[in-house]
Amino acid sequence: MADPAKIPTFHNKPYIESCGVRFPKDGVFITGRIRGSLRSGEYEAKEAAAVLKAVQDGDTVMELGAGIGFISSVIAKHRNVKAVHAFEANPRLIPLIRRVHAENDIDNVHVNNAILGRAAGTATFYIRQNFLSSSLSRDDEGGVIAEEPIEIRPTRATSQDIRPDVLICDIEGAEVDVIPDMDLSSVRAAIIELHPQWIGSEGVAAVFKAMMQAGLVYFPKWSNAKVVTFRRDW
């Protein structure tokens, strides 16, 4: 029998593997609850399930709200996409996202430390000790430890330049402002995490209206609670 002390264990590895993607135990962002949910396969599981149904080989994907790089990495590892254009507001997360991509030999994801808005400009991003609470609003919660300027890119022009086949959006309530301004003419499928606790029923209705006006219809089979999928019937 092998010596148990010499058998490598999952927890002794310098990374956590989730959905076929390796994530470093960085000690800053991937800690506590996030580390546990990555190990269990529960981290962004609803989004990942919908995305892998929607994204096809050869697609161009636009992701708003890249987080720790989970969804962009899952796409790049499991689908032979042309490119993923990932946008993340939190500047502190950009090095981690790029590290995740590098350590998984992913080279077709373009990471943008920017948000979308009506016009080009800059905004202030408020960094909090708990990165999940960092946001564009100083008044959401206390505990601001730093302020950083981030680029605002014009929503419509940016979406027209990228012309995504698939849109993925998890931007903590900003979907109600961004989605109606986008050019969705190229989009075959969209996966959006809604935040009714912040945008209310009127905000949810506005997102659905924008999708319907663009010819994208709600697709319940690929939706789960607040993660909703829209598809275009060609």
Q: What is the tally of structural domains in the chain?
A: 1
- What pLDDT digit, counting tens, does each position of 168-189 carry? 999 989 999 999 999 999 999 9
The closest of 231, 168, 175, 169 to 203, measured between CA atoms, is 175
Task: State the chain's mean pLDDT as an integer.
Answer: 90
CA-closest candidate to residue 152, choices 120, 118, 112, 182? 120
CA dihedral of residues 166, 204, 65, 223 (deg, nearest 10): -50
- In CATH, what number is assigned to the domain containing residue 89? 3.40.50.150
Report the alpha-carbon angle 157-162-167, nearest 5: 100
Q: Is residue 9 over pLDDT 80?
A: no
pLDDT of residue 8: 35
Among residues 65, 48, 29, 30, the alpha carbon closest in space to that of 227 is found at 48
Question: Which residues, including other chains, have CB under 8 Å from residue 84's CB and lie 6 or more apart?
Answer: 60, 61, 62, 63, 72, 75, 76, 108, 109, 110
What range does the domain containing 94 cover? 4-232
What is the arithmetic mean of pLDDT over 53-70?
97
Q: Output the pLDDT for position 234.
A: 56
